[in-house]
Structure 1
Amino acid sequence: MYPDVVEHIYLLVAVTLISVLQNAFFALKIGKAQNSHAAAFENLFCASRNCMDSYPTFLAVMWCAGLCLRQAPAAFAGIIYLVARQKYFVGYMGQSSQRTPGYLFGKRTLFFLVLMCTVGIFNYLLARYFGSDYKEYIETITNAASALLLIP
């Protein structure tokens, strides 16, 4: 692979590999819960299924945001999403009120990534067809806004 290409995607690759390890952790937990009582297994299986349903969307918007705009804020948002997904998964093993914060946190992070994709594509179209490139301004705003993801 070309070094200049790797320079622009290595953070996204790292977050993707961490997400794969997290999926393996979820599968391991389900495997251990099969031997326990049915309610615990059902909760873990449902939590894992819910996480896996949103996984392709997460990967797509994280990679699009990283490639269309900037990889550092996209990778940071990806890590925040993985933390939220872990919180959701662990919360699913407890009371039903414990799963809501992780779900809402993950939803907000996905919205940020979708917004990054949209702005990146829109900026590309402006630069391509109108000659107005606002990438520096957008990157500054994105870097500042990514820190706001830490607010619960």
Structure 2
Amino acid sequence: MTAEPTVHLSLAVGLLRRGLPQRTSFARWVAAAVAAARRRRATELSIRLVGVDEGRLLNVQYRGRDYATNVLSFPADLPPGLRLPLIGDLVICAPVVAREAAEQGKTARDHYAHLTVHGVLHLLGYDHEADADAERMEALETRVLAGLGVADPYRD
């Protein structure tokens, strides 16, 4: 039996902590996504939890969209040949997560788990631009989340 690769997570909080999951929860969700993607080496990333103003500013600056979105993924842009464990950064907008969870009838914790797994998979190269890629990514997310006790987020 092989050991799971080490995951190093930095968590930064740019708003009041009340109601936010603990670092241990984010670390568990990240590790589950990394394992499901079959990454075999050490992994390092950061997650920053932000409010609406910072979320909107980052979405405008990096995606040209003038609203706060739930999660932004910033894959590491390493020079060719440099093999560091860094995969990138995630920014999660806490008020958007809370609003979406309420609208979708799920717990905020489950929605944080989903968005964390979704974002980590983006950092590992998964996307959902083409239908086949979206189906593959959603199936992997669903499997990871089921293992964490979270219901299928794509179920109607």
Q: Same fold (TM over 0.5)?
A: no
Q: Which has the larger radius of gyration?
A: 1
Q: From the two aligned structures, give the one with the greater helix fraction.
A: 1
Tell me which protein shows more strand as a share of its residues. 2
With normalisation by structure 2, the TM-score equals 0.30
